[in-house]
Structure 1
Amino acid sequence: MQTILFTLSAVFWIAAAVCVPSAIRGRRRPLLLFLAVFALTMTLMPQPVYRPVDALLGGGNVTYFIFHALTIVAIALLDVIVQEAMSPRGLTRARQRATVLITTAIVLVQAVLFFGSDWRVTDDIAASFIPRWDFTAYAATTWIAMGIFAVSFGIACIRDLRRQRRLVTRISLSLVLLACLGVLAYALISLTSAILAVLYADYLLVGWGRIAYSLSLLLSPISLVIGLGLTATVDGLTSSGRNFRDRVLLWRITPLWQRLLADTPELSIERELSPLQLLIVRVPGAHLYRRHVEIQDSLLLHPEQAVSPAEQGLIDLAEVRTQAPSPANHTPAVGTPQ
């Protein structure tokens, strides 16, 4: 179990790190926040981390309460991502206030149940299930929230699958749906086992139940992360490849552009770029398009200008590149942050 928890922590921290560049540019910030919160949540649970952190917080298993509270916050953040993707106008203020109020209410209920109990000072609080009704009521707040969200998110994914045509998006939604099924299984197994542990003193979660519990705990978050990030990753790689090809062609065609417009700078609205700027300019395709158009205009106005076969090949290649259609617009998948 400790290995599973460490694995999940690493997966979510890596995913959060991958989202940082997009968040800096103002995109996918809710996804970064969700990944960071959930990564912190999973990081607190392995015993080599849990015990020193709890000692630092004064003992009393306060770290366990923080874990459950952060889980609720992570669910709320994921709900925000889903609502932003589902609503054409994004997340409304009313929905945002409702999410904040519901999240706060659940955490407050957890605080009352946790700090008003005596089981929180036990040494085996990290055990799967404590045979007490007050513990079951406390933990059930998290499990029920997870189950409800898994069902609603899963239904949204099923509906969205019908209107998506891109294969990569359908795969992403399928992975998210698989994660929802895993979360639902984890919540049901946890809630059922906690109740049985209270009713039967000798109850232990073993056999297929334990295997399903462990697999759902491991595979659900991983499927969720991959599902949420797959479409964006594929689009990012496609865009990076397109920008690389545009940049190479921009570098190759620039000497021709400089030569043809040297005597007629009034024909150009394109700014001069240094060799370093050619390598790092953010949208090379736009500069390539302008330089190609200005080369064509210059040749139309001054047909006596000499162009070698190699240079004509560059012009033809730029013609193809600048007229190539951008990737077709597609409907964003449920849960895919914009």
Structure 2
Amino acid sequence: MTLLQILPIIVLWVMVAIRLLGLCFGWRPGILPAVFLVALGATLNIDPVYLAVDRLLGGWNLLNLMVHLLMGLGMTELSRLLLRVTGRSNHVKVLISVGIVLALAQIVLLVVSDTEGSAASFTDTFGDIPTVALYQASFFAWFGIITGYTGVETLRRNRRGESRPFRIGFDILCAGCMAGVLAAGTKMIQIGLEIGGGDRYNNGLITGYHVLLALMTVGFAVGFILPSYERIRQTFRARTDCERDLAALRPIMGRLVQTPEGRRSMGAANIVLDARASKAQLYRWFIFIGDIRVLDPGLLSPQEIRVIDEIGRRIEHNSPSAQRPAVPRR
């Protein structure tokens, strides 16, 4: 099962890397902490990693509890952020409260259970112990509830104003949530069989669980990566446009700052001709040229006016108010 565990985790860490890259472009952390928690929990749950780390912790499968808490916290935070973005966060506080109660119950149930001996296949090894069965069942029931609720509410979102990558990404997220519900259901069946002492279908259930979990993880990762990738593309495109506009304005600026009107306005506008390309610098130059046009329109040629007007339209089109999508109604 190691391959089925590793492939989705690679996708998750790619997602973390993309969000870290986004921080360099001024993005807010957003889903980064939640995805990091899920990726860390999933990494610790890889069989060889789990066995090695849990033995260091004493071999009582405390790492299983840590994985549950990391995954539960990460998935709950992902759900909260996802539902907030889509305007469907009506009952998130209730779900978070239930999650906290279940987390405390998880701690108590594992502490009172005899789980000595590190076991990567935790349910197979200890699933016939009633407290362990309840411990596992409570986690996967919560897992199924949070993914199911998130999937349904995301599917019911108001799609007005969504970009194509955003729409496709969130639809993939919905599919990932449904795969998560099926994975939780499969695990619950396995837990029930372990309690009953039957293991006839265990291998098939284990494989099915890992396949569904992989589909859910990939669905979540791809669903979040698509909008993030589009944002990175837009950021690079905006930077290229900014550099091009500054290059077009630089000869005009170089001439205007030599005029009496330009010298009077230059200090107040904080104009630097050799500054690093940035939106702030572009706005300063554009405002400076606008002031010069007011003071003496004859200083600009018709060709320069056309260039300036074209850049002005582009600035207006790319402004946050022009790009802000309609806010979904609850």
For Structure 1 versus Structure 2, the TM-score category normalised by the shorter chain is 0.7 to 0.9
Identify which of 166, 169, 173 aligns with 1:172: 169
The alpha carbon displacement at 1:137 in A equals: 1.0
Q: Deviations over 1:122-163 (max 9, x none)?
A: 454525534413322111122111111122111211211554
The alpha carbon displacement at 1:317 in A equals: 4.1
Q: Partner of 1:38 in structure 2?
A: 38
Is 61-70 or 323-332 further displaced after alignment?
A: 323-332
Q: Deviations over 1:277-326 (max 9, x none)?
A: 333x35455245324424544651xx2x47496x5664454344334454
The alpha carbon displacement at 1:189 in A equals: 0.5
The letter of the residue matching 2:168 is I
C-alpha contact 2:54 2:118 (8 A) present in aligned 1? no
The letter of the residue matching 1:186 is A
**Structure 1 position 321 matched with structure 2 position 318:** no
Q: Partner of 1:121 in structure 2?
A: 116
Provide the TM-score with structure 1 as the length reference. 0.81
Distance 2:220 2:327 in 1: 16
C-alpha contact 1:85 1:332 (8 A) present in aligned 2? no
Query: Per the alignment, in what secondary structure is the counterpart of residue 160 of structure 1?
Result: coil
Q: Partner of 1:48 in structure 2?
A: 48
C-alpha contact 2:87 2:157 (8 A) present in aligned 1? no
Distance 1:162 1:25 in 2: 27
Distance 1:152 1:99 in 2: 9
Matches within 5 A, 1:73-88: 73-86=73-86
Indicate how the Cα distance of structure 1 residues 193 and 55 shifts in structure 2: closer, same or farther if over 3 A, else same: closer
Identify which of 249, 264, 268 aligns with 1:266: 264
Distance 2:155 2:87 in 1: 16
Gaps in structure 2 of 5+ consecutive residues = none
Identify which of 227, 232, 248 aligns with 1:231: 227
Is 244-253 or 195-204 further displaced after alignment?
A: 195-204
Indicate how the Cα distance of structure 1 residues 306 and 121 shifts in structure 2: closer, same or farther if over 3 A, else same: closer
Indicate how the Cα distance of structure 1 residues 177 and 106 shifts in structure 2: closer, same or farther if over 3 A, else same: same
Q: Deviations over 1:43-71 (max 9, x none)?
A: 10113322221122222121111111212
Indicate how the Cα distance of structure 1 residues 273 and 55 shifts in structure 2: closer, same or farther if over 3 A, else same: farther
Query: Per the alignment, in what secondary structure is the counterpart of residue 156 of structure 2?
Result: helix
The letter of the residue matching 1:322 is I
Indicate how the Cα distance of structure 1 residues 294 and 202 shifts in structure 2: closer, same or farther if over 3 A, else same: same
**Structure 1 position 330 matched with structure 2 position 320:** no
C-alpha contact 1:270 1:287 (8 A) present in aligned 2? yes
Indicate how the Cα distance of structure 1 residues 261 and 294 shifts in structure 2: closer, same or farther if over 3 A, else same: farther
C-alpha contact 1:257 1:295 (8 A) present in aligned 2? no
Matches within 5 A, 1:190-205: 190-205=187-202
Matches within 5 A, 1:207-286: 207=204, 209=205, 212-262=208-258, 263-264=260-261, 265-268=263-266, 269-273=268-272, 275=274, 277-279=275-277, 281=278, 283=280, 285-286=282-283
Distance 1:7 1:80 in 2: 26
Q: How many pairs does the alignment contain? A: 322
Distance 1:272 1:285 in 2: 10
Indicate how the Cα distance of structure 1 residues 104 and 127 shifts in structure 2: closer, same or farther if over 3 A, else same: closer
Indicate how the Cα distance of structure 1 residues 100 and 325 shifts in structure 2: closer, same or farther if over 3 A, else same: closer
- Superposed CA RMSD in Å reads 3.2
Is 124-133 or 233-242 further displaced after alignment?
A: 124-133
Q: Partner of 1:152 in structure 2?
A: 149
The alpha carbon displacement at 1:101 in A equals: 4.5
